[in-house]
Amino acid sequence: MQPKTASTATQEEVHAWLTEIRDLKNTVAALRDAFEQARIDKEKSVQAAAAANAAEIAQLKSTVAALRDALEQARIDKDKSVQDAVVAAHHEIVQLKAAVTALRDTLELERLEKDRSVQAAVRNAHDESQQLKATVTALRETLETDRAGR
């Protein structure tokens, strides 16, 4: 058997080294492939998350727009209701004022008519009183004339 030197290696040792180098290269290639697959998977996950976020953002924007429109419509409806109530109140006030004016005018006409009736009654009573006084005076004179002539 020959003594081994640092520079001489047996064929088995070379074969073992070559096998180890090949195994290491295969391991490196497998690790590279696994790393590349992991990077691709991570990139796909990031893209999927970004797409999901974009979809959620779009949905939220749509929801915000719909809510804004609903809020604006609610404000418009409220303003219209208030305006309708103001118009209705105004019409009622106008009608009530017209009714008050008509009632006031009717009351004034009735008061004037009552005053005329009272004045007419007073005048008729005064005239009747004057006539009765004249009649009494005429009857007294006739009576006195009849008494004096007897």
Q: Where are the domains positioned within the chain?
A: 12-111
pLDDT at 147: 87
pTM: 0.48
For 112, the token pair is 């004037």
Distance CA 112, CA 43 (A): 101
Model confidence at 7, pLDDT cuts 50, 70, 90, reads low
* Whether residue 2 has pLDDT greater than 90: no
